[in-house]
Structure 1
Amino acid sequence: MQKKINWAISSLLVTAFVTGCATSNAPEGGNQATSRGITAPTNEIIFPETGSPNVPYTQGTSPAQVKSTSAQSSAQPTPSRSTKSGLANRKDVQAFADRVARNNNLDRDWVLDILSRTELKPKIVEAMNRPAEGMIWGQYRPIFITDKRINDGVKFYHTHQKALERAYNQYGVAPEVIAAIIGVETSYGQNRGNWAVLDALATLAFDYPRRAEFFSKELENFFVILNETKLEPFSYKGSYAGAMGFPQFMPSSYLAYAVDFDGDGLRDLWNNPVDAIGSVANYLAKHGWVQDGTVALEVKIPTGNTAHLQYKHTGRLVPPKYSVATLKAAGVQTYAHNNNKANLFEFEMEKNNPAASQWWLGFQNFYSITRYNHSPLYALAVHQLAEGIKARK
């Protein structure tokens, strides 16, 4: 369900959420995004439409070569890095290693050895500390709803049609929605990130106090993944917030929702789009997706009407709470069934021009998408990209 920065390239734009991916459960107190000018923490990347795709692995063994846990030896994976950073000399790092080893029945010396070779990256902290950039729907939409991204989504759909349809049959999630989430997250796997996940998570766990608790837990989860897969620890690449693979799962989401969808004994979200497809579908299904349910509908508001404003969504996202009948009584014009429940969203097309705004109803499936990324803008972009793919496939 995958969560944004000018990354040393002027064409990169900032978007929303706290973790660099869509699929972590945001800690309480995180930046909140609304459709009227999203506040975008500098921790998730919108990749440009052009440019070389990121190469997910540059050293060591690819996760595609890692069999299921039962097929592995009990030996701990050995780091390929020979240079030690000195990180393991810090008392807080040693305390972390103690806790990880105790909580997960791991070898403390193995944890410390990996941490001793892990490098803290000041550029990540600098990026996280940059002022947030406000973005309205009129700015956000053109980033994702483009002919190229739609056409690439159609290609992705046809290439993986069997897996997408099987995911629909098993989880109930529409194929075009699965494709659209992967398209928004990583341009269908073209941009998966080049940071060593260990470096990214350790930097944020030990040198970013504002979110240290959250990222410390994600780093602990990553050690669990390392122990299960027996993969060379520094071969994992991802975003600078530690999000991984086609769907940009954080380690906690990988452990909870990643699936081996092609039955080869692997949960490979880095190189296997079939596993990514199944994992995205599983994530949405576990977060309340309704098979064949409506995601969102644009509605009309009569000129001069103000009764609807009491129902406009503000603040933290919540499940749909108003009946369509109630919203219609407040002047909202829609053909949606009266008994359905929805939330009412205003999406600004122009700053300081309410007359240009679009108004949308977000239903349960809209809310489910916001469990992947807590931004209404993200959810509407996924919906519209999915509709574009569906129309052209």
Structure 2
Amino acid sequence: MNPAVFFLKPRHCLSLVLLIFSSGCANQAETPPTQPRSGAPTQQLPPRQVRSATPALRPLANVGAYSAESISGDYTGYQDLKRFIEFMEQKHGFDRLYLNGLFSQAKRKQWTLDYLAKSDQSLKAQPGKGSWSRYRAKFLDDRHINSGVAFWQTHQNTLQRASQQYGVPAEYILGIMAVETTFGSYVGSHRVIDALTTLAFDYRRRGDYFRAELENFLVMTRNERMDPAKPVGSFAGAMGLGQFMPSSFMEWAVDFNGDGHRDLWDPVDSIGSVANYFAQHGWQPGQPVVSPIQGTPRASRLEPGLDRIYSIKSLTESGLSPTIACNCDAPLRLLWLRHNHGDEYRVGYPNFYVITRYNQSTHYAMAVHELAQAIKNAYLKDKKG
């Protein structure tokens, strides 16, 4: 079997993790976007290709003293891994002995596999009563808001430059970092090589996706002159303050501090990379994100969800009206938020959908939005004295 055919099934995805694990460790991988079921067509990027070309002007050597005639350790006898190494040798010019030595150091993470097995079952469940209240409480607190204000004060010039260059308000860059890692206070403790190897060869449901991520990780570390056994991140392989998966790093990470390297553990590069991610996914400067809604959504018989889109005309004809004007003829989403004492509906504009490209979850995007507003308000209040 041609290894290039066997291993490459790229998905349009920044991260799997927060959709599956609704906590702050995003980008973890998301599930592929579903096609809208009604309404006007929506703007979507094409499926991501594996960004794995090595710069042509300078041959890159492997980093780290790894070498072995065969794979030992936890992955002894894994034929799929052996074929993957052959693929990396053929496509990217990696030395087979080097990769044998590297993967002999990789550890199989049984805890991750057990956790994912349980999480996969919960994906089928509908949001329960109070689910939004519980999720929101994890992030809308003094720790996240105060950390956001302090981070903004420290990096205000960088945030201003990123906003001007990419058209993304500073508070939404901060909202992502707040939910993901609380501005780097916890970027994960799992070696990325362990996380990705485990999921690439022992997690059947998303094995193709994680093999592509492992490919990108190896190319990324070689390009950036990093020892592939050193970086740590989430248990699904997400990295840095913004928790990019390796394919997202390859495509959207930027060298925002100008030192010649892209480093997502560096706050400046992370700020620029998150802003670039939003811009490349269609962020519309000056446009709203969400709006309260007038009317009775249940009576309208319109279905909420990210995979269903509506025009403003279809909403108004159903007796629903956003209270914040978009001044645009854009696809809209009906959002369903379940509080402890009742349900709330809102309209999500295209900028809300952009946030969900970071993690395909209504709860996640709403947490980013509300944290962005809370951090901005606290920052401006502190600035006024």
Q: TM-score range by the shorter chain?
A: 0.7 to 0.9
Q: Could you tell me how far 1:84 is from its partner in structure 2?
A: 4.9
The aligned counterpart of 1:278 is 272
CA separation in 2, counterparts of 1:23 and 1:117? Answer: 23
**Offset of residue 274 of structure 1:** 0.6
Give, in whole Å, the separation in 2 of the partners of 1:372 and 1:298.
23
Distance 1:81 1:130 in 2: 37
Counterpart among 344, 359, 362 of residue 334 in structure 2: 344
| In 1: Cα distance, 2:253 partner to 2:29 partner | 12
Partner of 2:37: none
Task: Give the aligned partner of residue 42 of structure 2.
Answer: none
Matches within 5 A, 1:305-324: 306-310=298-302, 312-314=303-305, 317=307, 320-323=309-312
Q: Map 1:124-163; keep pairs closer than 5 Å.
A: 124-131=112-119, 132-133=121-122, 136-163=131-158
- Aligned-CA RMSD value: 2.9
Q: Does 1:78 align with 2:64?
A: yes
Q: Is the 8 A contact 2:195 2:235 kept in 1?
A: yes
Q: How does 1:41-190 map to 2 (within 5 A)?
A: 74-79=60-65, 84-85=72-73, 87=75, 89-131=77-119, 132-133=121-122, 136-190=131-185
CA contact (8 A) 2:199 2:210 kept: yes
Q: CA deviation at 1:331?
A: 2.0
CA contact (8 A) 2:67 2:98 kept: no
Kindly state the Cα deviation for residue 241 of structure 1 after the two structures are TM-superposed: 0.4
Give the whole-Å Cα distance in 1 for the aligned partners of 2:184 and 2:298.
Answer: 44
CA positional deviation for 1:244:
0.5
The CA distance in 2 between the partners of 1:23 and 1:128, in whole Å, is 12
**Helix, strand or coil for the counterpart of 1:344?**
strand
Matched length: 335
* Per-residue CA distance 1:14-33 (angstroms, 9 max, x = gap): 5179xx6337563479xxxx
Secondary structure of 1:92 counterpart = helix
Q: TM-score normalised to the size of structure 2?
A: 0.79
Question: 1:382 is matched with which residue: 368, 381, 384?
Answer: 368
- Indicate which of 11, 18, 21 corresponds to 2:26: 21
Percent of aligned positions that are identical: 36
**Equivalent residue in structure 2 for 1:193, among 188, 194, 197:** 188
- Classify 1:198/1:247 alpha carbon distance in 2 versus 1 (closer, same or farther; 3 Å): same
For the 8 Å contact 2:88–2:215, the answer to whether it is kept is yes
What letter is aligned with 1:223? L
CA drift of 1:369 comes to: 0.3
The verdict on how the C-alpha distance between 1:86 and 1:180 changes in structure 2, with shifts beyond 3 A counting, is closer
Q: Is 2:158–2:268's contact at 8 Å kept on the other side of the alignment?
A: yes
TM-score between both structures, scaled by the size of structure 1? 0.78
Q: Deviations over 1:351-373 (max 9, x none)?
A: xx7xx111111001000000000
Secondary structure of 1:130 counterpart: helix
1:137/1:347 contact within 8 Å kept: yes
- Name the CA distance, whole Å, in 1 between partners of 2:74 and 2:378: 54
The farther-off stretch of 330-339 and 110-119 is: 330-339
Residues 23, 372 of structure 1: 8 Å contact kept: no
Between the aligned partners of 1:81 and 1:274, the Cα distance in structure 2 is 35
Identify if the C-alpha distance between structure 1 residues 190 and 306 changes in structure 2 by more than 3 Å, giving closer, same or farther. Answer: closer
Give CA-to-partner distance per residue, 1:181-232, whole Å, 9 cap, x none: 0000001110101111001100111111121111111111111012212222
CA shift, 1:73, in A, is: 7.4
The letter for the 1-side match of 2:89 is A
Q: Give, in whole Å, the separation in 1 of the partners of 2:81 and 2:236.
A: 19
Kept after mapping to 2: 8 A contact 1:118/1:202: yes
Q: Distance in 1 between matches of 2:65 and 2:55?
A: 18
Q: CA deviation at 1:327?
A: 1.6
Q: CA deviation at 1:300?
A: 3.1
Could you tell me how far apart the structure 2 residues matched to 1:99 and 1:28 are? 28
Checking the alignment, whether the CA contact within 8 Å between 1:84 and 1:118 is kept in structure 2 is no
1:366 is aligned to: 352
**Letter of the structure 2 residue corresponding to residue 313 of structure 1:** P
1:258 aligns with 2:263: no
Report the AA paired with residue 273 of structure 1.
Answer: P
1:330 to partner: Cα distance = 1.9
Structure 2: runs of 5+ lacking an equivalent: 1-13, 35-53, 380-385
